[in-house]
């Protein structure tokens, strides 16, 4: 298809607008990389100095066998990324999907003694969908 | 090739466009209703409950098609923007306005159903993670385009300005799509990646049916809106007067 000179010029402009906007967005996101992350993984948080002043979000999986009920609505559990783990204490209502082996995002502070005190707990569900019978079958097939 | 070329260009002529939209409308409407009924039945009755989320997961059958559509409509709008910007096709400008309105609607549906789904599963209506925020930005871009069309009296100037905003805003599309892969987000990664899926077939095919149903409803809406717009714009032109006269005559005869 042959384009007339004026259309070719407009095509150039459209192209420039796209490239410019893309470059701008890319640079902005590079600068904001840290802030765009909604939470730290367990290993990422442990690399930083512990600070009870700073409120952060910590994401990980509730380690199997670590969940303990405290007094009232207090719970203790370990959050893990399968490499490192952090003990967490939380007082409040639990989301209905909360259980061992479930991904969660906790908001709170990492104390000096290495314990994470959470003030909010959100369940992070995964991208797998299947009927209960299939899930049970998969579980049985596991060793 | 020549005939196809002529056929394509005829979409740009109001009289031809009106004819084709009129002929298209009953077909699209029928298909949309059939797919909505069948898709809705499979999604809300036949599909099994999820092993983790139970019945709540069914909101996915509205949320995901609306979210897909919100992005697809924008993608199509980028094509229209190029037609407006480079070739100055008047009708592409009309279509852009329709697309922007409908796209904003589907984005809103995706955001609201997502919030309703988030409350029982995540434990919150809303978080400022990359996926939710970039989808909200999409809504604002759509509304900005709608605003340009509504505020500027000169339709051609409005179309060109909206086209530029559409091109600039298209940067947001890959950000929405890859947000859950590039960054840690509360929103889970996609269940369908190319041909691979982490969704059981008994739950997947209702989703595909519903997505098709939503797409058909969208096309129906576009056909309807655009037809009305052509009539509006053509109210002083001879072809419409001729058409109306012939309609009147056939009415009197029959």
Domain-embedded: residue A45: yes
Domain-embedded: residue B243: no
A95 to B189: CB separation less than 8 angstroms, yes or no = no
- pLDDT at position A139 is 80
Q: What is the mean pLDDT of residues B189-198?
A: 89
Structurally, chain A folds into a number of domains equal to 2
Domain-embedded: residue A114: yes
Q: Is A16 found in the same domain as A30?
A: yes
Task: For residue A14, list chain B residues with Cβ-Cβ distance below 8 A.
Answer: 81-82, 85-86, 167
Domain-embedded: residue A133: no
Please determine, for residue B26, whether its predicted confidence score (pLDDT) is greater than 50: yes
Q: Is A1 found in the same domain as A70?
A: no
CA distance, residue A113 to nearest chain B CA (Å): 26
B186 to A105: CB separation less than 8 angstroms, yes or no = yes
Please determine, for residue B253, whether its predicted confidence score (pLDDT) is greater than 80: no
The string of pLDDT tens digits covering residues B149-190 is 999 999 999 999 999 999 999 999 999 999 999 999 999 999
Domain-embedded: residue A135: no
- pLDDT at position B230 is 92
Task: For residue A95, list chain B residues with Cβ-Cβ distance below 8 A.
Answer: 121-123
Domain-embedded: residue B13: no
- pLDDT at position A19 is 95
The string of pLDDT tens digits covering residues B91-118 is 999 999 999 999 999 999 999 999 999 9
- pLDDT tier at A1, thresholds 50, 70, 90: low
User: Residues B196, B200, B202, B203: is their CA dihedral positive or negative?
Assistant: negative
The string of pLDDT tens digits covering residues A17-53 is 999 999 999 999 988 887 888 999 999 888 887 666 7
B175 to A25: CB separation less than 8 angstroms, yes or no = yes
Confirm whether the ipTM is greater than 0.85: yes
A14 to B82: CB separation less than 8 angstroms, yes or no = yes
User: Residues B105, B107, B108, B114: is their CA dihedral positive or negative?
Assistant: positive
Q: Is A47 found in the same domain as A110?
A: yes
Q: Is A115 found in the same domain as A69?
A: yes
Please determine, for residue B35, whether its predicted confidence score (pLDDT) is greater than 80: yes
Q: Is A66 found in the same domain as A49?
A: yes
The torsion angles phi and psi of A49, rounded to 5 degrees, stand at -65, 135
* Chain position carrying tokens 């095919």: B205
- pLDDT tier at B30, thresholds 50, 70, 90: very high
CA B11 from centre of chain: 19
Domain-embedded: residue A141: no
Token code pair at residue A17? 């607008």
Task: For residue A122, list chain B residues with Cβ-Cβ distance below 8 A.
Answer: 122-124, 127, 186
- pLDDT at position B113 is 98
Please determine, for residue A94, whether its predicted confidence score (pLDDT) is greater than 70: yes
Domain-embedded: residue B53: yes
- pLDDT at position A143 is 57
* Structural domain span for residue A28: 1-36
Domain-embedded: residue A97: yes
A105 to B168: CB separation less than 8 angstroms, yes or no = no
B121 close contact with A: CB closer than 8 A: yes
Which is higher by pLDDT, B17 or A51? B17
Domain-embedded: residue B5: no
Please determine, for residue B58, whether its predicted confidence score (pLDDT) is greater than 50: yes
- pLDDT at position B164 is 96
Give the number of A-B residue pairs with CB atoms closer than 8 Å.
118
- Is there a contact between B112 and B170 (Cβ–Cβ < 8 Å)? no
Domain-embedded: residue B254: no
Domain-embedded: residue B190: no
B129 close contact with A: CB closer than 8 A: yes
Q: Is A108 found in the same domain as A50?
A: yes
DSSP SS3 for B116: helix
Q: What is the mean pLDDT of residues A89-114?
A: 89
Q: Is A59 found in the same domain as A31?
A: no
Structurally, chain B folds into a number of domains equal to 1
A129 to B203: CB separation less than 8 angstroms, yes or no = yes
How much is the pTM?
0.91
A14, A41, A93 ranked by CB distance to B167: nearest: A14
* Structural domain span for residue B154: 22-185+204-237
B87 to A131: CB separation less than 8 angstroms, yes or no = no
């Amino acid at each position: 298809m042959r384009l007339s000179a004026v259309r070719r010029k407009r095509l150039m402009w459209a192209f420039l607008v796209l490239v410019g906007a893309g470059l701008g967005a890319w640079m902005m996101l590079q600068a904001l990389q840290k802030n765009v992350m909604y939470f730290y993984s367990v290993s990422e948080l442990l690399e930083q100095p512990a600070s009870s002043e700073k409120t952060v979000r910590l994401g990980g999986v509730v380690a199997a066998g670590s969940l303990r009920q405290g007094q009232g609505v207090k719970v203790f559990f370990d959050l893990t990324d399968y490499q490192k783990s952090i003990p967490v204490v939380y007082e409040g209502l639990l989301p209905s999907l909360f259980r061992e082996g479930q991904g969660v995002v906790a908001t709170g502070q990492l104390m000096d003694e290495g314990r994470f005190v959470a003030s909010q707990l959100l369940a992070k569900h995964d991208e797998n969908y299947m009927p209960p019978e299939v899930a049970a079958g998969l579980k049985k097939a596991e060793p | 090739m020549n005939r196809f070329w002529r056929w394509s260009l005829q979409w740009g002529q109001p009289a031809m466009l009106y004819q084709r939209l009129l002929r298209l409308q009953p077909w699209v409407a029928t298909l949309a209703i059939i797919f909505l009924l069948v898709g809705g039945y499979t999604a809300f009755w036949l599909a099994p409950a999820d092993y983790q989320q139970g019945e709540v997961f069914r909101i996915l059958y509205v949320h995901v098609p609306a979210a897909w559509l919100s992005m697809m409509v924008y993608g199509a709008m980028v094509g229209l923007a190029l037609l407006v910007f480079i070739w100055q096709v008047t009708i592409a400008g009309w279509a852009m306005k329709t697309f922007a309105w409908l796209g904003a609607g589907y984005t809103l549906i995706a955001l609201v159903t997502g919030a309703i789904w988030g409350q029982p599963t995540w434990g919150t209506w809303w978080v400022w993670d990359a996926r939710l925020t970039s989808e909200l930005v999409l809504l604002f871009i759509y509304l900005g385009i709608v605003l340009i069309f509504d505020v500027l009296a000169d339709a051609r100037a409005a179309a060109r300005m909206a086209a530029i905003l559409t091109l600039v805003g298209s940067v947001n599309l890959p950000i929405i799509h890859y947000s859950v892969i590039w960054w840690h987000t509360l929103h889970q990664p996609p269940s369908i990646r190319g041909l691979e899926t982490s969704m059981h077939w008994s739950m997947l095919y209702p989703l595909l049916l519903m997505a098709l149903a939503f797409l058909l409803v969208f096309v129906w809406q576009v056909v309807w809106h655009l037809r009305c717009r052509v009539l509006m714009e053509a109210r002083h032109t001879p072809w419409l007067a001729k058409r109306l006269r012939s309609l009147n005559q056939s009415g009197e005869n029959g």
